[in-house]
Structure 1
Amino acid sequence: MKQIYAFEREEEFVKYRDVTHRFGEKLSEYQAILEQQYDLTELPKGILWTSEELATMFFSNIPIPAYTNKDLIYMSPDVKSWRRILLSQLDGKDLPDVQEFYENYSENQVFIILAHELTHHSDLFLDEFDDESENGIWFEEGMCFYLPRKILLSEKEFNEITNAEIQLFEAFKDKYGKHSLEDFGSLSYQGSLSSIMFDYWRSYLSVKYLVEDRANNNVKQVFNTYHQWDREGRKVPLTEYFGIESLLK
């Protein structure tokens, strides 16, 4: 993949040159795992490294500076910026453990966000980037969180981010959890970051449950069920097919 730099000032490029190099090397290792085990056959053309401001106001209006399309992954490598953004998820809630976690959000955790975006390019996911269908989109988003976290993080790091998102889910479920998981994104980009991220938290937690509790840590078994749902014509919502309609309510 090409490494493309889009910063307004040369000093920004110099500032982030080392971290983008580290991220690029680590992503190559993760790419090999996806190619060998998770049907990654076609890569995006490149990673566009940029600032939070350009990612969220110039290249897109998505309020989070990491996203992908068929051709490019857009990513801010600024760890301090990510800490500030993710702290805003608390939205005034008194969650000291979560606050401490995001105040010390590591470079490795930021790298996992980049790995998440590459995971979207796996052919194991049924819908293409330009498909209008949104059936089961929660599954893809949840799995794109789960796989890189499970594969690349230490057990301690994995538990830390999982516990943070469990606490966030519990704190906001009464406010944002009234719609079905099948309506993923129905609150997206309409309010605070917590309203946007709520469906991402519960999608991740749902996939984690499916893999670790239902399938005894067999990721491929969960993917097989997902593909069977598709082959049978998607006659019922995916949450119903998996039997998790009432999970995380």
Structure 2
Amino acid sequence: MRNIYAFESQGDYIKYQDIIERFGAKIEKYQRIMVEDFELIDPPKGIVWTTEELATTVFSDIPIPAYTNKDVIYISPDLSTWRKLFIKQLDGHRNPKVEKFYENMSENQLFTIVAHELTHHSDLFLDEFDDEREDSIWFEEGMCDYLSRKMTLDESEFKEITEVELELVEMFKGEYGKHSLDEFGSGSYQGNLTSIMIDYWRSYLSIKYLIEVHANNDIKQIFSEYHNWDKEGRKVPLTEYFELNTVLK
């Protein structure tokens, strides 16, 4: 993949040059895993490294400065920006454990966001980039979170982000999490940051349960069941197919 720099000043480029270079080596390693094990056949042509402002106002109006399309990943490598953004997820509430985690969010945790966007390009996912992306988006988003974290974080880092997102779901499920995950789709970016992100947290935790409990850590089994659901004509919602509604509240 080619690195494309979209900064308005040379100072910004210099500021982020080191972290972009460090991420470059990690991207190559993660991409090899995806190619060998998860059918990454057509990777994106490049990554656009940019600022939060340009990512969310010029290249897109999505309020999160990381996204991908068929050809290009866009992301801000500014760790301080991400820390502030994730603190906003608390929606004015106080939670010392969650606040401490995001105030000290590591570069490794930021890299998982880059890896998440690359994971979207796996051919194991059913939806195409130009689809409406309804119906099973929770599966893809949750799997992108799970794989990017499981394959790049150490055990303690993986456990920590899982515990934080469990805490966040518990905090906000009464206010923002009453709907089915099957409603998570292309129209999901209408509310505030917390109402958007809770579906990502719930999707990740659902995939984690499916892989580690339902399939006894067999990721390929979950993909196989997901494909069977599609081949059978998507007769029931995917959460119902996986019987998630009976185990995850």
Equivalent in the alignment of 2:75: 75
Partners of 1:226 and 1:86 in 2: how far apart? Answer: 30
For residues 3 and 227 of structure 1, do their structure 2 counterparts lie closer, same or farther at Cα, with a shift above 3 Å needed? Answer: same
**What secondary structure, in the 3-state scheme, does the structure 2 residue paired with 1:152 have?**
coil
Equivalent in the alignment of 2:159: 159
Partners of 2:3 and 2:243 in 1: how far apart? Answer: 42
Structure 2: runs of 5+ lacking an equivalent: none
Q: TM-score with structure 1 length normalisation?
A: 0.97
Partners of 1:94 and 1:132 in 2: how far apart? Answer: 36
**Does residue 219 of the first structure (1) align with residue 219 of the second (2)?**
yes
Deviation string 1:191-210 (CA, Å, 9 cap, x unpaired) is 32111101000000000000
Q: TM-score with structure 2 length normalisation?
A: 0.97
Equivalent in the alignment of 1:132: 132
**Mapping for residues 207-246 of structure 1, pairs under 5 Å:** 207-246=207-246
1:154 maps to a residue whose letter is: D
Partners of 1:236 and 1:188 in 2: how far apart? Answer: 21
**Mapping for residues 3-42 of structure 1, pairs under 5 Å:** 3-42=3-42
| Deviation (angstroms), 1:25 | 1.2
Between the two proteins, what is the percent identity of the paired residues? 63
Structure 1: runs of 5+ lacking an equivalent: none
Equivalent in the alignment of 2:105: 105
For residues 244 and 40 of structure 1, do their structure 2 counterparts lie closer, same or farther at Cα, with a shift above 3 Å needed? Answer: same
**Does residue 46 of the first structure (1) align with residue 46 of the second (2)?**
yes
Contact 2:135–2:185 (8 Å) recurs in 1: no
For residues 116 and 7 of structure 1, do their structure 2 counterparts lie closer, same or farther at Cα, with a shift above 3 Å needed? Answer: same
| Deviation (angstroms), 1:229 | 0.5
For residues 49 and 161 of structure 1, do their structure 2 counterparts lie closer, same or farther at Cα, with a shift above 3 Å needed? Answer: same
For residues 118 and 95 of structure 1, do their structure 2 counterparts lie closer, same or farther at Cα, with a shift above 3 Å needed? Answer: same
Deviation string 1:102-125 (CA, Å, 9 cap, x unpaired) is 000001100100000000000000
**Which is worse superposed, 178-187 or 168-177?**
178-187
Equivalent in the alignment of 1:145: 145
**What secondary structure, in the 3-state scheme, does the structure 1 residue paired with 2:116 have?**
helix
Partners of 1:25 and 1:118 in 2: how far apart? Answer: 14
Contact 2:134–2:186 (8 Å) recurs in 1: no
| Deviation (angstroms), 1:132 | 2.4
How much is the aligned-residue C-alpha RMSD, in angstroms? 1.2
